């Protein structure tokens, strides 16, 4: 059965696209058939994280929503083994009547184990379309007050729509005094923190390298945390790290 998962946050820049691109690569490593959709149809950036060339001839989700193309025409194969539907780079506004993402995704049910949707920032039409199309959502936040307020609003919206929530991913954790810790976040948002991802300069760099960090630096803590989350989401046991991997982690403190 296909599982449709959206990554949402309310707030911009907290790490949705980073998480989506790393989960996509991780699900492939877990042996799943994966499709990732850029649900950010007025400000797409998934293709930047994943190195898709966005030429004029690219068929995008926007073309599908505008009924200029079939959804199958907008699916591209990524070298890491998943499929991707990019969104348009040039669209600034979108007519909400055109936002029937759910019925288009419906055509793909059964073709994939997991369909991941990278949602836009905010809680507007684009995000609502992503949520409406998914069975389950992950809320991602940073450990600062503004991100948490938006995470709480996102949770309320998901509850209003009676959608399942995997939990909260707490990203860009620096362990500093003036940031909220896991317990505070769980109490404030009212959901479990299912994954804590430290702030790491290599994540910023991975965007320039156009390669998810789970691929380029699989032993780093952020990579291992995102991979573990991927296993949790698809209800698979997390494999134990072998002795050499454990030693590398201890010696290099990664």
List residues binding Mg ion (CB under 5 A). Answer: 16-17
Least CB distance from residue 212 to ligand ATP, whole Å? 11
Encoding tokens for residue 105? 């995704």
Q: Which residue of 130, 191, 203, 229 would you call a contact of ligand ATP, by CB under 6 A?
A: 203
Distance from the Cα of residue 122 to its chain's centroid: 15
Identify which range of 11-19, 69-77, 143-151, 240-248 contacts ligand ATP by CB under 6 A: 11-19
Rule CB under 6 A: which of 106-165 touch ligand ATP?
121
The option from Mg ion, ligand ATP, none interacting with 141 (CB < 5 to 8 A, set by class) reads: none
Give the contacts of 10 (CB within 8 A, at least 6 positions apart).
121, 122, 123, 147, 149, 150, 151, 153, 154
Shortest CB 10 distance to ligand ATP, Å: 9
**CB-CB contact of 225 with 233 (8 Å):** no
200 binds, among Mg ion, ligand ATP, none (CB under 5 to 8 A by kind): ligand ATP
Residue 10: name the closest of 183, 189, 194 by CA.
Answer: 189
228 binds, among Mg ion, ligand ATP, none (CB under 5 to 8 A by kind): none
Question: Which one of Mg ion, ligand ATP, none interacts with residue 39, CB within 5 to 8 A by kind?
Answer: none
CA distance 254 to 248: 8
- At closest approach, how far in Å is the CB of 109 from ligand ATP? 26
- SS3 category, 113: coil
Phi-psi group of 110: left, alpha or beta (phi > 0 → left; psi -120 to 50 → alpha; rest → beta): left
Nearer Cβ to Mg ion (126/196): 126
Q: Which does 129 bind (CB under 5 to 8 A by kind): Mg ion, ligand ATP, none?
A: none
Stretch that binds ligand ATP, among 7-15, 61-69, 81-89, 241-249 (CB under 6 A): 7-15
CB 116 within 8 A of CB 84: no
Q: Which is nearer to ligand ATP, 54 or 69 (CB)?
A: 54
The only residue of 5, 8, 16, 47 in contact with ligand ATP, by rule CB under 6 A: 16
Count CA within 13 A, CB hemisphere, residue 248.
11
| Residue 25 binding ligand ATP, by CB under 6 A | no
Q: How many residues bind ligand ATP (CB under 6 A)?
A: 20
Phi, psi dihedrals of residue 4, rounded to the nearest 5°: -105, 120
Q: Give the integer Cα–Cα distance in Å for 179 and 206.
A: 25
Look at the block and give the residue holding tokens 């976040």: 185
Binding site for ligand ATP (CB under 6 A): 9, 12-18, 40, 45, 121, 171-172, 197, 199-200, 203-204, 207, 222
């Amino acid at each position: 059965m296909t599982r449709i998962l959206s990554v949402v946050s309310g707030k911009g820049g907290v790490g949705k696209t980073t998480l989506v691109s790393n989960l996509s690569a991780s699900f492939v490593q877990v042996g799943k058939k994966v499709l990732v959709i850029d649900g950010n149809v007025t400000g797409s950036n998934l293709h930047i994280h994943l190195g898709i060339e966005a030429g004029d001839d690219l068929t995008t989700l926007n073309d599908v929503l505008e009924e200029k193309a079939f959804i199958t025409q907008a699916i591209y194969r990524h070298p890491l083994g998943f499929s991707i539907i990019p969104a348009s780079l040039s669209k600034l506004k979108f007519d909400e009547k055109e936002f029937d993402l759910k019925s288009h995704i419906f055509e793909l049910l059964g073709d994939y184990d997991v369909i991941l949707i990278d949602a836009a920032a905010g809680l507007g039409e684009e995000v609502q379309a992503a949520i409406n199309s998914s069975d389950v959502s992950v809320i991602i936040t940073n450990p600062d007050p503004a991100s948490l307020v938006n995470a709480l609003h996102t949770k309320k919206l998901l509850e209003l729509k009676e959608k399942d929530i995997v939990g909260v991913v707490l990203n860009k954790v620096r362990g500093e005094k003036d940031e909220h810790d896991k317990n505070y976040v769980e109490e404030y948002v009212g959901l479990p923190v299912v994954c804590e991802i430290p702030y790491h300069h290599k994540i910023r760099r991975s965007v320039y390298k156009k390669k998810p960090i789970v691929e380029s630096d699989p032993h780093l803590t952020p990579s291992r945390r995102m991979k573990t989350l991927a296993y949790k989401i698809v209800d698979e046991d997390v494999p134990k790290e072998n002795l050499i991997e454990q030693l590398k982690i201890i010696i290099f403190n990664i």
